[in-house]
Structure 1
Amino acid sequence: MQTLIQKTEALFGPSIGYLLRRWYWILLSGLLIGLLGILLAWVAKPNYISRLSFSVDEDNGIANNFGSLAASFGLDLGSPGGVFAGENIIELVKSRRIIEGALLSPTTYNGKQLPLVEYYLQQNPDEGKKKRPVYSLQQARSNYSREQDSLLGVIYKGLVEGGLYVGKVDKKLSIIEIQATTGNEKFSKEFTENLMAEISRFYVDSKTSRSRNNVALLQKKADSIRSVLYGSISARAAILDANMNPTFQAPMAGVQRKQTDMAVLSAAYGEILKNLEGAKYALSKETPLVQIIDVPIYPLKMKKPGRLIYGLAGGFIGSICAAFFLYFMLMLKRIGSSPKQPLVEL
């Protein structure tokens, strides 16, 4: 051992030889820090990973036909999906509007209904202040205080930067995966499911808003015409009941007017019903299908620090720190033992 140290000292200098002679201190420091790393990995709280994958199928009709025709000539007209096309939907899932909607969705805890964000804060008291604001299902989002908005922003930022991943399973596929990683199993699962519900609702509502408005308008007109038509039928019957004697023709003029109104209203009502059915069919064609492929199921996958990795990393760091400390002490000893230089008067 001494011969090896002497050869190393001659090759690399006395400083390396000094460290090799104190190898036991370096080894002991590595062992202690390595054991500390294993202990930290042992007592560390696990994180729970919740995964959900989905795909969006929509009928773009003519847009797809033109896209196929353009592709046959080597042209790219882009995706007709607008804000929901390509990578846009991934950023939409990570938007504050969608994530806040998921956090403010109701959940059940100890037999009580409360927002998911309130459950999250109760399980993670360090996330909020000592006197943090309380979130309730009875309070409207528009009535939130500045403190509530601020705390929601902090939670949103923490989730987006560290606990939420949204991306495609494969670049060639249209399957999107949502993955939430937190220290609470219930929160991870319900947060992922709420995100999916929010994005589905927002996506379908945005795609079908115009058609739904048309259906509602036509339904309102149909109800109005039907009400007037039924009124005319009742008025005609009342006139006939009041004038049972067919000898008098003057009262029959009112009957004929009601019959004319009934004929016009019946034609208009039939046309409105035809248009209403067409609008409902168009709405069903425009409604995109958000197909959920995989859903999170208990028990969720746990993620804990590896004891072996932490032990090896701790041992390496401990050994390096011990070597630097010994080298630093050697330099101090050399500086202290070197002869003092006399001052030179200028």
Structure 2
Amino acid sequence: MAEEKLNTAEDEISLKELILKLKEWYQYLLTKWRTILIAGILGGALGLVYAFIKKPVYTATTTFVLEEGESSGGLGAYAGIASMVGIDLGGGGGGIFKGDNIIELYKSRKMIQETLLSQDTFAGKQQLLIDRYIEFNKLREDWQEKPELVNLKFSVDVKGYNRLRDSIMGKIVEEINGSILQVAKPDKKLSIIKVDVKSKDELFAKSFADNIVAKVNQFYVGTKTKKSMENVAILQYQTDSVRRVLNKSIGGVASEIDANPNANPAFQTLRVGSQKRQVDVQAAGAVYEELVKNLELSKITLRKEKPLIQVIDEPVFPLKVDKVGKAKGIFFGGIFLGFLTTLFLIVKSVFRNSI
């Protein structure tokens, strides 16, 4: 009991000391009100300057829904029968991309580079997006001391290896991935994907967002259905080839009959030619019938595997802008510098009293 009373007394003394210390700091800060006020005014002035210097950032936002295509499970019976005769109905492309992999595709160098090398119209003139990026960031002004960079040109049909050009492209891709392009799913339970492009140039932000969404989605759909499309193309080629053979065989039967229109029944050899042609027609017809069935099944598989990408919202002018207002700059600048000055005075007081 005595020990508990002692601890309670110590707690009361500590609380009392804390209150006295806070009161002491308060009275000390009152004597320094001019210093804190000057610091607040100076901070407000710096905040106002920052509001003038800080350029607005525009955000181009695109949202779309992604619905994955169905696998070939629904055609399992047909696929099994087709495989027995050496026909693959496709369905192999579904494992390449699944779910959130399209988000990583947006961040790949290939997609960003192809987007930067796209052309668009800015202020009435055709210009590559990468040239627009270099222009509004004033990179060529920073390259004045490097002639090889000043004369560096980019082109849509750029080919071959160029160390300097590829190095600059790599740095710009890193900057875009780091601070300009943001791709995410707002809700993990939904299939909606949101693409944000932030830039100091409003025209660049919208153009880059439109182009990268179009290119990535096209590449995604093409890759997902590539094997099935190749299978359809092969079956279509085989079907057309057999159809030509069938037509030729039918023409051959007609020719043989025309050659002997009134064949003597006593001479069976006169019918051999037309009978051989008829066998060719029957064989080609059977093969053609199976190929047509497999071709139609393959087309169904392709339609089922093709993912659906539907744009919900796309960027329109004027874009959402994020900028520091004058009043906001003055307020937060004054509060921030005033707080730092107050904290400095308190630390200085504590340090001086401890000596």
- The verdict on a shared fold, with TM-score over 0.5 as the criterion, is yes
Identity percentage of aligned residues: 39
Partner of 2:326: 307
Gap change, CA 1:324 and 1:85, over 3 Å in 2: same
**Mean Cα displacement is larger for which, 21-30 or 195-204?**
21-30
Large movers: runs of 4+ above 6 Å:
19-22, 320-327
CA distance in 2: counterparts of 1:110 and 1:259, whole angstroms: 70
Give 1:90 deviation, angstroms.
Answer: 2.6
CA distance in 1: counterparts of 2:117 and 2:329, whole angstroms: 37
Equivalent pair of 1:229/1:266 in contact (CA under 8 Å) = yes
Partner of 2:47: 37
What letter corresponds to residue 54 of structure 2 in structure 1? A
What do residues 226-260 of structure 1 show as CA deviations (whole Å, max 9, x unaligned)? Answer: 22223333444445555566458756533332222
**Mean Cα displacement is larger for which, 207-216 or 88-97?**
88-97
SS in 2 for 1:165: strand
Q: Does 1:134 align with 2:134?
A: no
SS in 2 for 1:53: strand
Alignment of 1:127-206 (within 5 A): 129-130=143-144, 131-132=149-150, 133-140=152-159, 143-206=160-223
Equivalent pair of 1:189/1:296 in contact (CA under 8 Å) = yes
Q: Does 1:218 align with 2:218?
A: no
Equivalent pair of 2:72/2:301 in contact (CA under 8 Å) = no
87, 109, 118: which one pairs with 2:131? Answer: 118
SS in 1 for 2:120: strand
Q: CA RMSD in A?
A: 3.8
Alignment of 1:1-346 (within 5 A): 11=24, 23-24=33-34, 27-60=37-70, 84-109=97-122, 113-126=126-139, 129-130=143-144, 131-132=149-150, 133-140=152-159, 143-240=160-257, 246=263, 252-316=271-335, 318-319=337-338
What letter corresponds to residue 212 of structure 1 in structure 2? M
Give 1:87 deviation, angstroms.
Answer: 4.1
Give 1:318 deviation, angstroms.
Answer: 4.8
What letter corresponds to residue 164 of structure 1 in structure 2? L
Q: TM-score, normalised on structure 1?
A: 0.73
SS in 2 for 1:179: strand
What do residues 74-105 of structure 1 show as CA deviations (whole Å, max 9, x unaligned)? Answer: xxxxxxx7664454433332222332232233
Equivalent pair of 1:114/1:137 in contact (CA under 8 Å) = no
CA distance in 2: counterparts of 1:250 and 1:286, whole angstroms: 55
What letter corresponds to residue 268 of structure 1 in structure 2? V
Give 1:272 deviation, angstroms.
Answer: 0.6
What do residues 112-148 of structure 1 show as CA deviations (whole Å, max 9, x unaligned)? Answer: 55532233223333277342532212324xx241222
Partner of 2:78: none
What do residues 256-280 of structure 1 show as CA deviations (whole Å, max 9, x unaligned)? Answer: 3222212211221121111100100
Q: Mind listing any 5+ residue stretches in structure 1 that lack a counterpart?
A: 1-7, 65-80, 328-346
What letter corresponds to residue 195 of structure 1 in structure 2? I
Gap change, CA 1:186 and 1:261, over 3 Å in 2: same
SS in 2 for 1:302: strand
What do residues 167-216 of structure 1 show as CA deviations (whole Å, max 9, x unaligned)? Answer: 22223322121111101112211212222223322322232222122111
Equivalent pair of 1:212/1:283 in contact (CA under 8 Å) = yes
Give 1:25 deviation, angstroms.
Answer: 5.6
Alignment length (residue pairs): 303
Partner of 1:74: none
Gap change, CA 1:112 and 1:228, over 3 Å in 2: farther
Q: TM-score, normalised on structure 2?
A: 0.71
Equivalent pair of 2:116/2:129 in contact (CA under 8 Å) = yes
SS in 2 for 1:166: strand
Equivalent pair of 2:263/2:270 in contact (CA under 8 Å) = no
CA distance in 2: counterparts of 1:152 and 1:202, whole angstroms: 21
CA distance in 1: counterparts of 2:209 and 2:306, whole angstroms: 23
Q: Mind listing any 5+ residue stretches in structure 2 that lack a counterpart?
A: 1-20, 75-93, 347-355
**Mean Cα displacement is larger for which, 195-204 or 240-249?**
240-249
Equivalent pair of 1:50/1:301 in contact (CA under 8 Å) = yes
Gap change, CA 1:150 and 1:196, over 3 Å in 2: same
